[in-house]
Amino acid sequence: MEWGHRILGRVIGLVFIIPYGYLLARRRLPAAAAAKLGGLGLLLGFQGALGWYMVKSGLDQQILETGAVPRVSQYRLAAHLSAALLFFMGTMRMALSIKKDLQWSRGGLVNGVGDELVSRLQNPALRRFKSASAILLALAFVTAISGAFVAGLDAGLVYNEFPYMGHRLMPPVDEMFSKAYSKRGDGADVWWRNLFENPTTVQFDHRLLVSDYFIWSFSAANSTKATTTYISTGLLYGAARLTSLKSLLPPLSKHLAGASFAMVNIQAFLGITTLLYLVPIPLAATHQAGSVFLLTTLLALLTTFRRPSTLATALRLASRATQSKPLL
């Protein structure tokens, strides 16, 4: 698996660098696109460097001598995953933006809307919905990264029950903020070391972040807050389908709100199942993949509120002017 992971990473690098270098050498890229792709290329290289830095943390001589299972730093694992997700989201965002600009420049529909798209996106209600979508995307990203700490510490093996943790919703405070994790005499680092190094606290935080995500979904729907997964995500979906936003949202935005609702439920089911079955690797990997699908649907939802570029708008107007010219 390690060898395959490294080879796949190198293949991704070649698939990105070779076409980018060719298009750059032939001057086929606008300055803005070249700069964005260059930034993504640097992020991809940084991702590879982080991968080695992460692996290095597990090459402890004592572990090699005793034959114990190597363990990498959960901090470096989270950083490695963060860079990977940011690269994926950056490429996805750029691809969706180019596709929508191309559709707009050719005079077609974008997100299922025609010429009124720009004026509709300026509606205050849609702008608030866009802000809520951005917050949801950020919270989903943080939740995914907290999952890296769960994986790095094997925190999924601490409490294998749901929704309780030891027959209660929250573990004992002295267990979550144990002084055993402090490395300072005055204990000033107790709170943050437990947040990132105590498996019990890390699992609880991951659960709590998921709850926070659902609460924000609830808030985005302009409804009363709640704490359950299905009610909160159902209200977010309901806001796009049953409230006054239904007539304002572009059709694709409503579809993607539904896809996000479906993906959240699938992801929650995968997370609970992974926990109850003591974190088998196939289920854990599927749960991790589910976080990528959830980020994808939320990113696509956010992109539906992006205004077409100035160039795409100019090309659309020029195309309309050409079509409206009378035949001689």
- pLDDT tens sequence across 201-231: 999 888 877 655 544 454 444 332 223 334 5
Q: Are 160 and 278 in contact (CB under 8 A)?
A: yes
Could you give the 3-state DSSP secondary structure of residue 325?
Answer: coil
Q: At what angle do helices 281-303 and 124-152 cross, to 10 degrees?
A: 160
pLDDT value at position 236?
65
Contact 102, 109 (CB under 8 A): no
Q: For the chain, give me the number of helices (H) and strands (E)?
A: 13, 0
Tell me phi and psi for residue 113, to 5 degrees: -125, 145
Residue 200, Cβ neighbours under 10 Å: how many? Answer: 20
The Cα–Cα gap between 268 and 214 comes to: 11
Output the CA angle 315-317-320, nearest 5 degrees: 110
The residue that leads in pLDDT, 110 or 236, is: 110
Cut 0.85: pTM above it: yes
pLDDT one-digit tens code per residue, 33-44: 999 999 999 999
Whole-angstrom distance, CA of residue 260 vs CA of residue 240: 12
Give the pLDDT confidence score for residue 69 in this predicted structure.
73
Q: For 38-78, how does the pLDDT look when each residue is reduced to its tens digit (9 = 90+)?
A: 999 999 999 999 999 999 988 877 776 776 777 899 999 99
Domain residue extents for the chain:
109-309
Write the Ramachandran bin of 154: left for phi over 0, alpha for psi from -120 to 50, otherwise beta: left
- Alpha helices by DSSP H, listed for 26-73, are 31-56, 61-66
The pLDDT value given to residue 230: 44
Q: Crossing angle for the helix pair 199-220 and 124-152, nearest 10 degrees?
A: 170
Q: What is the 3-state secondary structure (H, E, C) of 245-313?
A: HHHCCCHHHHHHHHHHHHHHHHHHHHHHHHHHCCCCHHHHHHHHHHHHHHHHHHHHHHHCCCCCCHHHH
